[in-house]
């Protein structure tokens, strides 16, 4: 009787996926069985076959129920419709089970030559996984102007930042970089930066550094060895983690974990590669290494290290290489590579041995939806988004006339983030989408500098009745599609200004 048979087996939901998914899943299951890990698979379905059944999420109820029961998932790649149709099944799984963190290691591998070989690349990207632009809140605001809302919360930022520091502790790393675009998006990306700075104080043993995301990308392709852990937002993390995979050999070597407090899902980063599906040539390394991460999550640290060392030994010896490493003429099949890894279980490479891991402590963040409770707040105006083919001056004069008698006044109009009224620039190439900012008339009259962007923090409060009157008047002559209230929170303006607004 094997060691696995003597222990209570952990049920794991197994999603083979699309394209090469079933092949790399089968290879990985063989390795896990060979190492004697105590796992019982519960097969489930998601992706293309589910979309074809007319299930718009790509994830059927049976699969959801299996994940709810088991709380642990090993998943192959899933196809995602591009530019039309249904939501991504991958994103559905992440948001449905609050898999708020995506952990993607990128480490130099023996026998996998790259431009950065012998540089000692060994880093982890910790990507926020459910918020940001990937919340998928989009609208066509005019027939020619699309909007995507970038939603970031203090709670989401705190969970991902805390996890990044805990990962550094668990893996014995000394530095965490936070990569943001806070110099431009001061409310959203700035929230991540501020949260990082707050949480960093609780980990004095870890060096905490903020870096602008574009500089981070620049530094990664010049001096990648300087990074250990990079925590960043969803879209930035998606892009940056693919870049880091490219540093060490490509997506075929890129494992990942999707972490939630209740459910954890492990998967390879690569796609379904339908062009090579069924040919037994896919590289299973990424998924095998993802399975090693899964075993560590289960507390099976020895089994996880055994698998990782066997992969490293196989690559170092070069006895089996899939086409993405060895070239097609000398390439091993998926089966041959897997056979080699199984033969090498228990062996260790001469260098690049598996990193020592300790249990990862998941962050504890209050489940109360209201995480931030300000001492004061008030509404001082509103941005009304208007569809109009008028030039800025004509639109501005029209709006000033329309809102007379409502208690409010037009402060400015902007087009694609640039102030165009008053004092318009004839160099701006306008579209039919204006952000029109309205404030209480007394605030505008009391501050001659308002047109140049003077503060509204001390201005009078706007009532819903004032806004309703403005919208009623505007709607009589113009098409409006979106409204945002302008808030002052704890004495500070909680909204951005257009370029040129001061």
What CATH number does the domain containing 184 carry?
A: 3.40.718.10
Q: Give the residue, 49 or 467, on which the prediction is more confident.
A: 467
Provide the pLDDT for residue 95: 87
Among residues 225, 247, 269, which one ends one of the domains?
247
Residue 502 lies in a domain: no
Catalytic residues: 134, 181, 214, 238, 242
Looking up tokens 């449905």, which residue turns up? Answer: 96
Same domain, 400 and 445: yes
| Predicted local confidence at residue 81, as pLDDT | 60
**Does 499 fall in a domain?**
no
Query: The tokens of 287 are what?
Result: 């998924």
Residues 234 and 139 in one domain: yes
Closest-CA residue to 74 (of 15, 20, 1, 147):
15
Q: Are residues 385 and 456 in the same domain?
A: yes
Report which secondary-structure segment, H or E, holds 493: strand 492-493
Same domain, 486 and 381: yes
* 234 and 123 in a common domain: yes
Predicted local distance difference test score (pLDDT) of residue 343: 97
pLDDT average, residue stretch 394-416: 95
**Within a domain: 367:** no
- The answer for residues whose C-beta is within 8 angstroms of residue 262's C-beta and 6 or more apart is 71, 97, 98
**If you average pLDDT over residues 14-27, what whole number do you get?**
97
pLDDT tens digits, residue range 418-477? 999 998 667 889 999 999 999 998 887 665 444 444 577 787 899 999 999 999 999 999
Least confident of 74-78, 303-307, 445-449: 445-449
Number of domains observed in the structure of the chain: 3
Structure tokens at 306: 């055994």
Asked if residue 370 is part of any domain, the answer here is no
Q: Find out whether 67 and 11 touch, Cβ atoms under 8 Å.
A: no
Q: What percent of the chain has pLDDT over 90?
A: 79
- CA 266 to chain centroid, in Å, comes to 15
Alpha-carbon span 130 to 255, nearest angstrom: 19
Residue matched to tokens 């041959």: 336
Question: Does residue 241 register a pLDDT over 80?
Answer: yes
Question: Which of 127-136, 192-201, 487-496 ranks highest by mean pLDDT?
Answer: 192-201
| Predicted local confidence at residue 502, as pLDDT | 64
Is 86 among the domain residues?
Answer: yes
Q: What is the DSSP string of 15-61?
A: E--STTHHHHHHHHHHHHHHHT--EEEEE---SHHHHHTT-TTS--H
Shared domain check, 131 and 230: yes
Q: Would you say residue 248 has pLDDT above 90?
A: yes
Question: Do 98 and 149 reside in the same domain of the chain?
Answer: no
Predicted pLDDT at 92: 87
**Average pLDDT rounded to a whole number, residues 126-155:** 94
In a domain, 149, yes or no: yes
Whether residues 484 and 383 share a domain: the answer is yes
Expressed as residue numbers, the domain containing 1 is 1-104+255-355
Residue 118 buriedness (CB in 10 A; 0-12 / 13-18 / 19+): exposed
Query: Tokens standing for 343?
Result: 């033969």
Give the residue-averaged pLDDT of 344-372: 88
pLDDT value at residue 366: 83
pLDDT at 493 over 80: yes
Same domain membership, residue 298 and residue 200: no
Residue 85 reports pLDDT greater than 60? no
Mean pLDDT of all residues belonging to the chain = 92
Residue 482: pLDDT over 50: yes
End residue of a domain, out of 247, 281, 301: 247
* Rounded alpha-carbon distances, angstroms, from residue 165 to 158, 196, 202, 304: 11, 10, 9, 22
When pLDDT is cut at 50, 70 and 90, the band that residue 353 belongs to is confident
Pair 383, 466 in one domain: yes
Please state whether beta strands 433-440 and 492-493 pair in parallel, antiparallel, or not at all (unpaired). Answer: unpaired
Secondary structure (DSSP) of 363-412: P-----S-----S-EEEEEEEEEEE--S-HHHHHHHHHHHTTTTTEEEEE
Q: Count of alpha carbons within 13 Å of 448, Cβ hemisphere only? A: 0
Asked if residue 231 is part of any domain, the answer here is yes
> What's the mean pLDDT in 271-283?
94
The CATH number assigned to the domain holding 468 equals 3.30.70.1570
42 HSE (CA, 13 A, CB side): 17
Lowest mean pLDDT among 209-223, 327-341, 342-356: 327-341
Do 144 and 243 belong together in one domain? yes
Sheet with 418-421, strands from edge to edge, namely 418-421, 408-415, 433-440, 377-387, 479-489, 492-493
**195, 222, 247 — which closes off a domain?**
247
**CA contacts within 13 A on the Cβ side of 283:** 28
498: in domain: no
pLDDT digits (tens, 9 = 90+) for 361-377: 998 888 889 989 999 99
Q: How far apart are CA 162 and CA 369, in angstroms?
A: 18
pTM above 0.85, yes or no: yes
In a shared domain, residues 184 and 231? yes
């Amino acid at each position: 009787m094997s060691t696995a048979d003597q222990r209570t087996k952990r049920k794991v939901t197994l999603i083979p996926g699309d394209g090469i998914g079933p092949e790399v899943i089968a290879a990985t299951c063989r390795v896990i069985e060979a190492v004697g890990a105590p796992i019982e698979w519960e097969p489930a379905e998601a992706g293309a076959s589910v979309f074809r059944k007319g299930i718009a999420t790509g994830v059927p109820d049976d699969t959801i129920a299996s994940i709810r029961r088991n709380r642990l998932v090993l998943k192959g790649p899933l196809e995602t419709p591009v530019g039309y149709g249904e939501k991504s099944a991958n994103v559905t799984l992440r948001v449905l089970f609050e898999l708020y963190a995506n952990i993607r290691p990128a480490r130099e591998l023996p026998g996998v030559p790259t431009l950065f070989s012998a540089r000692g690349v060994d880093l982890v990207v910790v990507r926020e996984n459910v918020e940001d632009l990937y919340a998928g809140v989009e609208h066509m605001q005019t027939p020619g102007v699309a909007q995507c809302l970038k939603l970031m919360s203090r709670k989401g930022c705190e969970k991902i930042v805390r996890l990044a520091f805990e990962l550094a502790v668990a893996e014995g790393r000394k530095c965490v970089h936070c990569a943001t675009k806070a110099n431009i998006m001061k409310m959203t990306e700035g929230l991540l930066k501020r949260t990082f700075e707050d949480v960093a104080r609780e980990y004095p043993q870890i060096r905490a550094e903020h870096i602008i995301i574009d500089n981070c990308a620049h530094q990664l392709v010049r001096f990648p060895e300087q990074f250990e852990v990079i925590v960043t937002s969803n879209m930035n993390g998606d892009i940056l983690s693919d870049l880091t995979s490219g540093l060490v050999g490509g997506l075929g070597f890129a494992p990942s974990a999707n972490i939630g407090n209740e459910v954890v899902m492990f998967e390879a980063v690569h796609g379904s590669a339908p062009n090579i599906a069924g040919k037994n040539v896919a590289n299973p390394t990424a998924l095998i290494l993802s399975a090693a991460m899964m075993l560590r999550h289960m507390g099976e640290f020895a089994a996880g290290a055994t698998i990782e060392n066997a992969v490293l030994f196989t690559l170092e010896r070069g006895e089996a290489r899939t086409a993405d490493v060895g070239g097609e003429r000398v390439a091993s099949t998926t089966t041959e590579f897997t056979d080699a890894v199984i033969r090498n279980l228990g062996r260790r490479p001469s260098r690049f041995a598996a990193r020592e891991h300790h249990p990862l402590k998941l962050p504890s963040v209050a489940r109360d939806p209201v995480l931030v409770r300000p001492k004061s707040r008030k509404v001082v105006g509103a941005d009304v988004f208007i569809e109009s083919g008028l030039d800025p001056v004509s639109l501005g004069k029209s709006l000033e006339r329309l809102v007379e008698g409502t208690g409010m006044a037009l402060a400015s109009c902007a087009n694609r983030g640039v102030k165009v009224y008053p004092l318009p620039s004839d160099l701006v190439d306008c579209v039919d989408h204006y952000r029109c900012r309205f404030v209480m008339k007394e605030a505008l009259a009391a501050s001659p500098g308002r047109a140049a962007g003077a503060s509204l923090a001390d201005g009078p409060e706007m009532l819903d009745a004032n806004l309703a009157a403005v919208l009623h008047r505007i709607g009589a002559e113009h098409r409006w599609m979106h409204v945002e209230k302008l808030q002052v929170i704890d004495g500070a303006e909680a909204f951005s200004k257009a370029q040129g607004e001061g």
